[in-house]
Amino acid sequence: MVFLFVRLSWPHTEPLGSPEFGINFSCNYAEYLLLEDPTNGAGASLPDDRPDRTRWCADTLGQLLSGLGAKRVRLSVEWSQVEPAPGAFDWSLMDALLAEADRQGASVMLTVGVKAQRHPENYIPGWVLANAHLPPDGDISTDLYLRERSLAMVEAAVRHFAASTAVDSWGADNEPYVPSLRAQSWRLGREFVRAEVEAIRRNDPVARPVAINHGQHFVVDRRWQDALADSDILAQSLYPWRNYELFGWRMVLPILEIGPLAPNYRAQSRLASSVGRQFWITEMQAEPWFDGDIHLVSPANASPNLTVGHFRKNIDYARRVGAGRVYLWGSEWWLYQRLRYDDPTWWNLAREAISTAASAR
């Protein structure tokens, strides 16, 4: 019966669709891999205010978009970077990234809010931390100072970036309902995220669609319903391969192969469509979920979390979900593997997925 439960679940029975495949990009993560690699004698953290950073970030994004043939990219506005002092905004890096995407003919999903892609997720300026009273974990959006200042930043960011023709959609924070895994276990409340959505809509004269993305692990998590009710696009982060340890034995479990316990993303996409919403995957696992320093993953020290077979299976999952768009997670790591270890495996797999989907459309 267990076998039948799994074999009759949506990852095995739903037909293959043709979503658009794009990429996620974080300049911080690209720097960490390509410029701050301690395994290559470059371990120092580089300052964000170095003169050539903006150009380097834009050039790296351009290299990814042109080399992979990607026409969709998801970027995040990092609050601590764009507002280093109260009311003093610096849009230069994001402007350069948007200009480069536009030059490459790629459209941008732009996430604004407290949380952004990659570690530490909560990009809260030091001056906010000094004046707010944040709990050690839990919902930080109840703090009135953080709430007021972050919503003001969201409004200013949307007013500024709404002028960019590259932006075609917004994200209201990054996985707001999910506690951060590798920093403080902070999350954001539904009412606050709804206020972010309203601030975005109020300040965008073009009325681009707004997404709320969630990271659902098991079917019992129903917070995706809040995201669906409060946005134009229900988005999910999809990581099918998880590391677990049982009695000292480390294993990689295929989360989507546990039958009715796994999230039914296909049913979510159908429900979204039935109420006039869209369904996207904003993070589709395409790099290893590695518990140590990911610099150490190489052809000679491969991670069991993501094999070539897993990568291809993930693309298959993504095509069966019913999503309109799928943003692959790991473009910076594919470039790192190709440049650092002369291993184009992951780069070629991603380029194949993106080009095949484009041809099918």
> Which contacts of 31-38 are long-range, i.e. CB under 8 A and separated by 24 or more positions?
31/56, 31/57, 33/294, 33/295, 33/332, 33/333, 33/335, 33/336, 33/340, 34/60, 34/332, 34/335, 34/336, 34/339, 34/340, 37/295, 37/336, 37/340, 38/293, 38/295
Give mean pLDDT, residues 38-54. Answer: 90
Both tokens of 22, joined, read 């794009």
Q: What pLDDT shows up at residue 331?
A: 98
pLDDT range class, residue 282, cuts 50, 70, 90: very high
Q: What pLDDT shows up at residue 233?
A: 98
Beta bridge partners of 251: 244
- Residue 338 pLDDT > 80: yes
Both tokens of 349, joined, read 């797999």
- Rounded to 5 degrees, what are φ and ψ at 272? -60, -45
- Residue 301 pLDDT > 80: yes
Q: What pLDDT shows up at residue 184?
A: 72
Question: Considering the chain, what is the average pLDDT of its residues?
Answer: 95
- Residue 204 pLDDT > 80: yes
Give mean pLDDT, residues 310-325. Answer: 98
- Residue 7 pLDDT > 90: no
Q: Which CATH architecture has domain 2-360?
A: Alpha-Beta Barrel (3.20)
Instruction: Identify the weakest region by mean pLDDT among 13-22, 37-46, 52-61, 310-319.
Output: 37-46
- Residue 67 pLDDT > 70: yes
- Residue 1 pLDDT > 90: no
- Residue 183 pLDDT > 90: no
Give mean pLDDT, residues 140-155. Answer: 98
Q: What pLDDT shows up at residue 128?
A: 98
Give mean pLDDT, residues 152-169. Answer: 98
- Residue 44 pLDDT > 90: no
CB 288 within 8 A of CB 306: yes
Give mean pLDDT, residues 89-115. Answer: 98
CB 360 within 8 A of CB 74: no
Helix (H) or strand (E) holding 300: none
Q: Which amino acid is at 298?
A: S
pLDDT range class, residue 2, cuts 50, 70, 90: low
- Residue 4 pLDDT > 80: no
- For every residue of 162-192, which 3-state class applies, written as one string? CCCCCEEEEEECCCCCCCCCCCCEEECCHHH
- Residue 358 pLDDT > 90: no
State the first-to-last Cα distance of the chain, in angstroms, to the nearest integer: 38
Instruction: Identify the weakest region by mean pLDDT among 15-19, 101-105, 180-184.
Output: 180-184
Q: What pLDDT shows up at residue 105?
A: 98
The Cα-based distances of 42 to 31, 39, 45, 338 in angstroms read: 11, 7, 9, 18
pLDDT digits (tens, 9 = 90+) for 94-106: 999 999 999 999 9
Q: What pLDDT shows up at residue 5?
A: 65
Nearest to 256 by CA among 240, 236, 238, 237: 240
Helix (H) or strand (E) holding 137: strand 137-139
- Residue 154 pLDDT > 70: yes
Give mean pLDDT, residues 49-62. Answer: 96
pLDDT digits (tens, 9 = 90+) for 215-273: 998 899 999 999 999 999 999 999 999 998 888 889 999 999 988 889 999 999 999 99
